[in-house]
Amino acid sequence: MRISRHTPPLEFEQRASYVSVLGMNCAPRRNSGWLAQTKQVPGMTRASNEKAGTITTAEPSIETSSEEDLDVPWQIVVHNDPVNLMSYVTMVFQRVFGYPRERAERHMLEVHHKGRSILWSGMREPAELYVQQLHGYLLLATLEKTC
């Protein structure tokens, strides 16, 4: 479908979190003659434009969970690994959780002797952040739902 110069351009809503910019032209627009096409594919939206190329967007997959899943206490478990030094693990516990040295050492020794230690328990969102930070320090940490 070709749009004449007197017709206002088509407007459509993009609701995706991913956009492919391959084939897009970054040159300045010289005239306003646009050719726009939209194609609906389940889970994807594609918009073509003779000046800018093709933009493909994917509908994000949304994981739904009930309020109960979010409110249930979650616990962060750190597992033993043969790579990291005890002093390093103690330092990570102090930095991530703000534990005093004695408490961080107690958790480190529990990990060393028992193979795992529960470091923190609480709401899911901060727990996920803590696990991500521990992974950033290359520690093996998991998030478990308490019963």
| Position 19 pLDDT exceeds 80 | no
Domain holding 124, by residue range, is 44-145
pLDDT bin (cut points 50, 70, 90) of residue 147 is confident
Question: How many domains does the chain divide into?
Answer: 1
How far apart are alpha carbons 55 and 58 in whole angstroms? 10
Instruction: Let me know if residue 135 belongs to a domain.
Output: yes
Q: How many CA atoms lie within 13 A of 27 on its CB side?
A: 9
Is residue 25 within 8 Å of 52, Cβ to Cβ? yes
What integer pLDDT is reported at residue 9 of this predicted model?
56
Section 12-22 average pLDDT: 45
- pLDDT, one tens digit per residue, over 25-44 is 444 545 545 444 444 545 55
Residue 109 lies in a domain: yes
- How confident is the model over 46-73, as pLDDT tens digits? 555 555 555 444 455 455 555 555 578 9
pTM of the model: 0.54
pLDDT band of 10, cuts 50, 70, 90: low
Residue 53 is part of a domain; what is its CATH number?
3.30.1390.10
Domain assignment of residue 30, yes or no: no
Which pLDDT belongs to residue 56?
Answer: 47
Residue 20 confidence (pLDDT): 41
Q: Tell me the per-residue pLDDT of 107-140, one tens digit each, with 9 for 90 and over.
A: 999 999 999 999 999 999 999 999 999 999 999 9
